[in-house]
Structure 1
Amino acid sequence: MVIAQSSEYSISSYKEEGTKAPNVHYIGEAWLHPILHDDDDFNYNITKAKFKANSTLDWHKHSSVQILIIVEGEAYYQERDKSPVILRTGDIIRCDKNIEHWHSSTKNSNVTYLAIYSGKEPTEWTAVLTQDEYDKVAKTLSTN
């Protein structure tokens, strides 16, 4: 009978809280946990992000496709020149490469999601999403 896991394997957990992100390209509180980064064989990164309610990222884009998997809570998501939507636990959304977008927690719900994207080029931050813009989205989506 084996009692402990073998040290021959590299085992980690996506359940780790991660590190509080520096408040540079977002409003509110966020924690990031790089689950898989800079793996030459996989060629994609997987990051767990956890945002407290009423927190948001700025507008940005990636040089690769990005997949967001909502693990827990609710999120807002919007691509430039499209209407925002609410994503809920279990939802998966694909953002094509070089599409300007933002995503966040909702006004009243924390969100945890897994982001899958290529790490070959850094995220390109394109515009600030102001608290006023975020509040307008929250108000619009709460009345629908």
Structure 2
Amino acid sequence: MKNFFVGLLILACYNAIAQDDYYNIVSYTDEGAKAPNTHYIGEAWLSRLLQEDNELPYNVVKATFKANSTLDWHKHSTLQVLIVVDGIGYYQEKGKAPYKMKSGDIITCSKDTEHWHASSKESDVTYLALYSGQTPTEWTEVLTQEYYDSVAVKLSKE
């Protein structure tokens, strides 16, 4: 019986000094949730990979836009970085020419810069969006289907 209590004491001490076995793990492969159809045309899926907190000063969201889907014009109060991990899409800042973004591109958008991003007409696009969520996205203007279509025609020739 004495050996039992000694063993129990050793096990209790081990548990007291052992690392917490809880891991905060999310899967990159999770498609996420379908975004409510607000401020975009088409179909979008969002997966919050990392949430801003006291130790991490930004969010990381995986966004997948199905082919022929686009966000409205918007801006952020902080820098935003888009890391395109799959597919082809479009990106444009107000007053500049649209850009065909593709897998491997890293796009940095300065704070308070009005812009939009989307999938291409023929291809889904998946990107990681890094940004601070302290202030909500400011939606500035609807991006019409006609304008998106004109960008698609222009960029398909490049």
User: Could you tell me the TM-score, scaled by structure 1's length?
Assistant: 0.94
Cα distance between partner residues in 1 of 2:23 and 2:36? 32
| Separation in 2, partners of 1:26, 1:7 | 41
- Amino acid of the residue matched to residue 38 of structure 1? E
CA RMSD of the aligned region, Å?
1.0
Q: Secondary structure at the match of 1:112?
A: strand
The residue identity in structure 2 corresponding to 1:115 is: A
Asked if 1:134 is matched to 2:148, the reply is yes
> Which structure shows the bigger proportion of residues in helix conformation?
2
Tell me how far apart the structure 2 counterparts of residues 25 and 127 of structure 1 sit (CA, whole Å). 9
Give the aligned residue type for 1:72.
Answer: D
- Distance in 2 between residues matched to 1:78 and 1:38, nearest whole Å: 26
Equivalent position amino acid for 1:125 in 2: W
Between 1:6-15 and 1:114-123, the stretch displaced more is 6-15
Q: Measure the CA separation in 1 of the matches of 2:76 and 2:110.
A: 8
Q: Distance in 2 between the 1:136 and 1:9 partners?
A: 47
How far is the alpha carbon of 1:63 from its aligned partner? Answer: 0.4
1:7-62, CA deviations, whole angstroms, 9 ceiling, x for partnerless residues? 43212112111000011100000000111113221110000000000000000000
* Identity score, percent: 60
Unmatched runs of 5 consecutive residues or more in structure 2: 1-19
Moved over 6 A (4+): none
Aligned length: 139
Aligned twin of 1:61? 75
- Distance in 2 (CA, whole Å) between partners of 1:72 and 1:7 is 34
Does 2:112 match 1:98?
Answer: yes
SS of the residue 2:129 aligns to: strand
Q: Show the counterpart of 1:75.
A: 89
Counterpart amino acid of residue 104 in structure 1: A
TM-score (norm 2): 0.85
- Structure 1: where are the runs of 5+ without partners? 1-5
CA distance in 2, matches of 1:19, 1:11: 17
1:6-45 equivalences under 5 Å are 7-45=21-59
Residues 112-132 of structure 1 deviation map (CA, whole Å, 9 limit, x = unaligned): 000000111000000000000
Aligned counterparts of 1:128 and 1:11: Cα–Cα separation in 2? 36
